[in-house]
Chains A and B, each alone.
Chain A
Amino acid sequence: MNRHIEELIKLLGEDKVSTDPITIKLYSKNAVYYEGSALAAVFPESTVDVSKLARYAYENDLKIYPQGSASEIVGSSTPREDGIVVNFMRMRKIKEINYVDSYVVAEPGVRLIELNNVLRRDGYMFPIDPASIKSATVGGAINSGSGGMMGAKYGTMKDWVLGLEVVLPDEDGTVLRLGGKTTKNREGYDLIRLIVGSEGTLALVTESTLRITLAPERVVTVAGFFGDLEDLMACVVEIKKSKLDVLIMEFVDDATAKMTVETLGSKVVGEGHLLITSVSTVDEAAERVRDALVHIYDEAGANKIYSALTMEEAEDMGIFDIRRNLYPASIKMASMGLRDDEEKPYIFVEDISVPPTKLVEAVRRLRNISDKYGFPMVLGGHVGDGNLHPVVWIRESERDKMEQFNKFVLDIMEMAIELGGVISSEHGIGTVKKDGLIMSFRSKNSLKALRLMHEIKKIFDPKNILNPDKMLPSV
């Protein structure tokens, strides 16, 4: 047995360290088919455990690969054989809920859906709602800087973390408490927002204090199909000018909507691009808001309009089905007509953002890129904040096309940069988007920013043992 394993078992106890190869395998994958390996899978149960682990790793130059549910799709959570995978999902207590001061204190292994199920019972919510809300953990969402459907209104994870307890990979396994329980905090450099979105490269998050907010009293939803993308965007502009409190604004392009309906079925059907808008309001104003929205859709030329006065009604009607089914539809289509039944489809969800006014242009250019390379594409996204998720796939047997595929993805990122956008909005960089990161900073003539990032990494993690080679490209 590796000497580290014996020491770790002594340090933490046998039940917190697994060397079973099958178990390690299950902790070495992520949701985008990356598969690593590790010396052991370790399951800390407390900050003290994590601190001991960090100190040991520092002293012995052992690499640490932290992870939550590993549902990320950029490679930030997968380990390598030179280290241990540290899984935080045994730390899953919601330690405090304070409605008066509007915060919760949660351990990193709490799933976002679990947090929300507790808060919703009392009329509150934590508004970061990534598509992976059922699997994403608090710790994973912090490290990934997650966003979601309500991003246009509520921003992303960086806007909701008030305080963090972190462990540093140093000689003491130092435990730091950053921030606090208040919304206002001007105590020096903002280290919290440095750690949010750092993909586990700077520190190990062991506890977080998160802002919470009231759940909307009423959510009114309208969906409509537009033959012309310009009409859809005109509708978006009108909704934005109408001073409605937009919570969700989602888009699916015509080809995707059609394919989704054909492959998975839908109660909501129509011709063209789909726009779904949800507005937060109060019970008394629900019908007025619905009428106003329907009017805007109608004026903008929507050919088929659906509306729901409550979220439950919207769910019953299946208003969100087409948007939510982007991913399953991709899987289904990628699996269609496979030569070999046992062949696995690999699906990649892109994550660019452009300023919302550039969406029409972005969609047009995305389609051109897709045509140019001949890879099929499914397209949807968050119109409210300009975040697009083109979904593309390749089959196991098509590995020879991988180079072409990478070029295809680079073209997509390049297009986003040209339109004044970003190459990663809410999924992160991991190992797959490092080239994009360089491309983006180079376009702004700011490559030095990446060198600064490397320096910051060195200060936090002098021995480079924490999630090494993730996120930061060498420059």
Chain B
Amino acid sequence: MSMRHVKNKNQIIRIIRDNIVRRGTPIYLSRWARLGWIEGLNVDGEGEYLFFTGLMYQMTPYIESMVSRLSRLNKSILLDIGSKLNRLIDISRLFSKVDGDRVRHAHQIIRSIYLLLVNSGVDIYYNPGLDVYAGTLLHDFGLEDDLSIYAYKVYRRLEEVGVDKVVTIDPHTTYMLKEVYPKYIDDYSLEVYPYIDLIKATNSNSHVDNKTDSIYVIHDPCYYARALKKSVIYRDILKGYGIKYVEPRFARLETYCCGGPIESLSPEFSANIASRRLEMLRETGADKVIVLCPICLANLRRAAGHQDYILDFSEILASYTGDKS
């Protein structure tokens, strides 16, 4: 038995680690990708809940681009040099040519979530300087020392300006801020709310004529369904909106991971898992798939080969409320 799937582990972990620690994200992210979702929105600078994207949705187009390049890059000697060079220059910039449509799609999802919150009467505000990556990969790779320093920095920055409540938009960031950070930081008092906890479970704009008869299939994200026990909440919201959905094999507590978490170390394996999951979702006969996590969105979309089959929960709701921007 040799290494069939895990390739260039040390080099890749080194690159990702250095990027997070030195530059704040595991992969290069342009300013436009990071903040473009704000364009045309009237975003408050003050309020009750800090809107905290955690940059995960913004990163998905970059991850997709990097993963497809990584799967082709088998010369570990190049990676070896690259991983050392990366301390000086961000080599992930070399992979930073991304599909603009994917970035715009991510922006649209974030905007949808923002507007769903606003229209649900949640008093949110945004501060780009406080909105950072939560460090999920440091946690996944078991880089405990780095994570404890990183988490401390993120938290202190929020604490210094008096942030006490944040609303998060993806399961991984939610899990980090809600469940992981408290283990590393004494006197941690941040209140963390995933947006699905705060938005109204009914369509506030029912006069919008939605003609779609689409039947959806829910792909539960691991961390919402298991660690955070949220699988009932988003189903109730779908019911409240009158959106028809079916369940696939392996749902709720038993949901089947999209394969995304190992995309950096084992890109092909990750893709095989996504294909397998996609088969299960397709066999339900549903028209479209609902996802609630940027990693699932990217990984299943890559496996599906086209964009329209995999939709984020927030975009579907937005299409019903007329908040689609």
Contacts and interface: CB of A to CB of B under 8 A. Distances in A.
A96 interface: no
B1 A20 contact: yes
Contacts of B235: none
B249 interface: yes
A18 B1 CA distance: 7
Nearest to A23: B1
A321 to B, nearest CB: 15
Contact of B249 (A18, A20, A23, A117): A117
B1 A22 contact: yes
A46 B249 CA distance: 26
B5 to A, nearest CB: 14
Contacts of A117: 249
Contacts of B1: 18, 20, 22-23
Nearest to A121: B249
A76 B138 CA distance: 44
Interface string A1-33: 000000000000000001010110000000000
Nearest to A21: B1
Majority DSSP secondary structure for residues of B touching A: loop
Contacts of A22: 1
Contacts, number: 5
Nearest to A19: B1
Interface residues of A, number: 5
A20 B249 CA distance: 34
Nearest to A118: B249
A272 to B, nearest CB: 32
B226 to A, nearest CB: 16
A117 B251 CA distance: 12
Majority DSSP secondary structure for residues of A touching B: helix
A332 B249 CA distance: 32
Interface in A106-158: 117
Contacts of A18: 1
Interface string B219-258: 0000000000000000000000000000001000000000
Nearest to A18: B1
A395 B249 CA distance: 40
A114 to B, nearest CB: 9
A118 to B, nearest CB: 9
B188 to A, nearest CB: 27
Contacts of A20: 1
A204 B1 CA distance: 27
B175 to A, nearest CB: 24
A255 B1 CA distance: 48
Interface in A9-63: 18, 20, 22-23
A169 B179 CA distance: 56
A310 to B, nearest CB: 17
Nearest to B250: A117
A459 B249 CA distance: 44
A18 B2 CA distance: 11
Nearest to B1: A20
Interface string B109-137: 00000000000000000000000000000
Nearest to A22: B1
Contacts of A23: 1
Interface string B1-20: 10000000000000000000
A22 B1 CA distance: 9
A117 B249 CA distance: 8
Contacts of B249: 117
A52 to B, nearest CB: 23
B41 to A, nearest CB: 42
B208 to A, nearest CB: 35
A23 B1 CA distance: 8
Interface string B157-186: 000000000000000000000000000000
A318 to B, nearest CB: 15
A117 B1 CA distance: 33
Interface in B249-280: 249
A18 B4 CA distance: 14
A117 to B, nearest CB: 7
B254 to A, nearest CB: 10
A22 B2 CA distance: 11
Nearest to B2: A20
B269 to A, nearest CB: 16
B89 to A, nearest CB: 40
A117 B280 CA distance: 13
B54 to A, nearest CB: 34
A117 B256 CA distance: 15
A165 B1 CA distance: 32
A162 B73 CA distance: 53
A80 to B, nearest CB: 22
A22 B249 CA distance: 32
A16 B118 CA distance: 58
A444 to B, nearest CB: 46
Interface string B290-308: 0000000000000000000
A226 B126 CA distance: 61
Interface string A420-441: 0000000000000000000000
A20 B3 CA distance: 12
B277 to A, nearest CB: 16
A463 to B, nearest CB: 31
A17 B249 CA distance: 32
A371 to B, nearest CB: 41
B314 to A, nearest CB: 30
B62 to A, nearest CB: 35
B91 to A, nearest CB: 34
A342 to B, nearest CB: 21
A23 B249 CA distance: 30
A93 to B, nearest CB: 14
Interface string A209-253: 000000000000000000000000000000000000000000000
A65 B271 CA distance: 35
Interface string B85-108: 000000000000000000000000
A265 B262 CA distance: 36
A262 B248 CA distance: 37
A383 B158 CA distance: 60
Nearest to A117: B249
A134 B249 CA distance: 15
A23 B2 CA distance: 11
Interface in B187-235: none
Nearest to A20: B1
A20 B1 CA distance: 6
A391 B132 CA distance: 52
A42 to B, nearest CB: 14
A395 B271 CA distance: 44
Nearest to B249: A117
Interface in B1-60: 1
A349 B253 CA distance: 28
The list of the 5 closest CB pairs from A to B, nearest first, reads A20-B1, A23-B1, A18-B1, A117-B249, A22-B1
5 contacts: A18-B1, A20-B1, A22-B1, A23-B1, A117-B249
